[in-house]
Amino acid sequence: MDMSLFRSRRLWIPGLALLVLVGLATLPLYGSLYMTILMTAILMYIILTVSWVIFSGPSGYLSLASAAFFGVGIYTSAILLPTKGAVLPVLVVVLIAGAISFVVAVLVGALTLRLRGIYFAIFTFGLVELIKQVLIFFEISVTGTRGRFIMLVDTHTIFYIMLGIFVVLMLTAYFIRRSKFGLALRSIGENEEAAAHSGVNVTMVKVITFGISAVFMGAAGAVIAMRWTYIDPYIAFNPLFSFLPVLMAIFGGLGQFYGPLIGAAIFAYLEEVLLTKFPYYYMLIFGCVLVGTMLFMPMGLTGLIQRGWRRLIGGQHADA
Amino acid sequence: MLEVQNVNTFYGKVQALWDISLTVGEAEIVALVGANGAGKTTLLNTISGLLQPASGTIEFMGQRIDGLPSHKIVEMGISHVPEGRRLFTDMSVHENLEMGAYTSRAWKSRHETEKEVYGSFPILKERAGQLARTLSGGEQQMLAMGRGLMSRPKLCIFDEPSYGLAPIVMTEVFDVIKSLREQGITILIIEQNVPRTLEIADRAYVLENGRIVLEGNCEKLLEEEMVKKAYLGL
């Protein structure tokens, strides 16, 4: 068989992407309701992971604020889509959630993206707690509630909106990576002074990208809230949603575009399986898998795939 | 083309440059020589906007540039190739060059400029897809110079381009600098290798303790007792 056809990524990557997309879009036709629900959860994790990677991957700034933007999205949904008297269409609520997350991220980013390394990571993590505590205070003292119920939304509608966010996110990630903007972002991660000296408006590039990644986290939160139907500040601002995207991205491998995507998909599926089969030990097994990844696959899953692929086509070329 | 007048620069309270004046004319190669700590790099950083002078003026093509931020100065046509190269080591050679053309004026013509740079440094074309950190020291220096040229500068500032290079590679670097002048680019250069630099430069300034102590044509400087003693080991 002519292997050169497979070697040209130009053909098979978009082809594969299209195939997967068609498979996903028609899932409700052939899959069970459970599969649709499971896929919604997997897509949510992929969205959180890939949008985390958009910013933290190239820039080298470790953000632990994902849960904050995700939670802002969840609460936007909870406030705008109560069980009785919701006025706005579901899709509009998702867009509003994305917009609010963007604004929060830009404000926070403008203040904190001067911090370097561990200081930035700690501050972003603190942000999750801060918003959570403020919200708890507000709910108890002003509205007098603990949690909120959310309007019932059709499972398929939820799935398709999640899928839509996923597609827009992948296109955004692709174009950022390919653009002058993406080049500037990577140069910041490499050497911030040299980037500034090349004429990059360093602060602007960082803040805008931080905002873009938050849009998708917020939108995903708004959608998943409709699945959960009941939320409170502890559910919405669970710090796990800050850590899981980081772990999933590392699991998949940060070197390649598709790494975090595959990592999140497998990881999210694993979580579901472990959670149903071993409800008491799943965190333990999860941890072991992660440690194993760090030890034996330092480049993540994609590192493993690439090694195998290179052996398969017998080429000695370095990756493109 | 470049006119530095009575510049004083401080690091906090410590004065690093004392009343420096120098000029660089169109298509000239001007060298700055002096011992470590004499203030050469400080002077270059003051010109390219990384440091602000406390007093004095710097004019480029008739316009004041002291006080402007460094990306504005790059845009006006001064390119600074810093000491120690400061490459984007995990980006490819091609991407490093693109970063050099980041300013909007240079970005439009980046493909043509890249071809010209490959003309000056053929080795970079061979290495275009490689990560910068996989290049040898000499190739990295050429990449740093190539990146500097990508902004289509009128004046190029080189800080120690031969630093840490094998003698044969050094010769290549000096040859490139000469050919750049033939293309009409003005050059201001700092070098440790004083004899080689005085060979290719038209004029030179000798810095000591933040002051200019000697200046003039290179042939004349090579005859000076002080230069012979201090830098040529004669």
Query: Rounded to an integer, what distance in angstroms lies between the CA atom of residue A307 and that of residue A89?
Result: 48
Which of A193, A198, A320 is the closest to B99 by Cβ?
A: A198
Residue pLDDT, tens place only, A198-253: 888 888 999 999 999 999 999 999 999 999 999 999 999 999 999 999 988 988 88
Residue B177 lies in a domain: no
**Ordered DSSP codes for A129-164:** HHHHHHHHHHIIIII--S-EEB----HHHHHHHHHH
Residue A5 lies in a domain: no
Contacts across the A-B interface (CB distance below 8 Å):
56
CB contact under 8 A, A183 and B95: yes
Residue B117 lies in a domain: yes
Say which residue the tokens 């995903």 belong to.
A220
Give the type of residue at A66. Answer: S
pLDDT for res B83: 80
Residue B174 lies in a domain: no
Q: Which residues pair with B204 in a beta bridge?
A: B31, B216
Instruction: Mark whether B56 and B105 lie in a shared domain.
Output: no
Q: Classify the C-alpha dihedral B110-B116-B117-B123 as positive or negative.
A: positive
Residue A308 lies in a domain: yes
Residue A10 lies in a domain: no
Residue B58 lies in a domain: yes
Residue pLDDT, tens place only, B155-199: 999 998 888 888 888 888 888 898 888 888 999 999 878 888 888
Helices of type H across chain A: 4-7, 9-25, 27-30, 33-59, 66-80, 90-112, 117-138, 155-178, 180-190, 192-197, 202-228, 233-236, 240-252, 259-277, 282-296, 300-313
Read off the DSSP letter of residue B15: E
Residue A320 lies in a domain: no
Ramachandran angles phi, psi of A33, nearest 5°: -60, -40
**What are the residues whose beta carbons fall under 8 Å from the beta carbon of B121, sequence distance 6 or more?**
B142, B143, B145, B146, B176
Q: Which of A240, A233, A246 is nearest to A71 (CA)?
A: A233
Residue B171 lies in a domain: no
Are the CB atoms for A160 and A37 separated by under 8 Å? no
pLDDT by residue for chain B (234 residues), tens only, comes to 999 999 999 998 889 999 999 999 998 999 998 888 888 989 998 998 888 899 999 999 999 999 888 878 888 889 988 887 789 998 999 999 999 998 878 889 999 999 999 998 999 999 999 999 999 988 999 999 999 999 889 999 999 888 888 888 888 888 889 888 888 899 999 987 888 888 889 999 998 889 998 888 888 887 777 777 777 666
- List, for chain A, all residue ranges whose pLDDT scores fall below the cut of 70: 1-10, 314-320
The parent domain of residue A262 ranges over 34-313
Chain A partners within 8 Å of B95 (Cβ): 183, 186
Residue B214 lies in a domain: yes
Residue A2 lies in a domain: no
Are the CB atoms for A156 and A163 separated by under 8 Å? no
Residue A318 lies in a domain: no
Residue B222 lies in a domain: yes
Number of folded domains in chain A?
A: 1
CA-based nearest distance B55→chain A, Å: 23
Which among B96, B130, B152 is the end of a domain?
B152
Say which CATH number the domain at B16 has.
3.40.50.300
Instruction: Mark whether B98 and B121 lie in a shared domain.
Output: yes
Task: Tally Cβ neighbours within 10 Å of residue B133.
Answer: 11
Terminal-residue alpha carbon distance, chain A: 23
The pTM of this model reads: 0.82
Residue A164 lies in a domain: yes
Residue A174 lies in a domain: yes
The parent domain of residue B143 ranges over 84-152
Q: Which of B6, B70, B13, B26 is nearest to B211 (CA)?
A: B6
Instruction: Mark whether B138 and B191 lie in a shared domain.
Output: no
User: What is the ipTM metric for this complex?
Assistant: 0.73
Q: Would an 8 Å CB–CB cutoff place A186 in contact with chain B?
A: yes
Residue B71 lies in a domain: yes
Instruction: Mark whether B190 and B216 lie in a shared domain.
Output: yes
Query: Rounded to an integer, what distance in angstroms lies between the CA atom of residue A214 and that of residue A54?
Result: 10
Number of folded domains in chain B?
A: 2
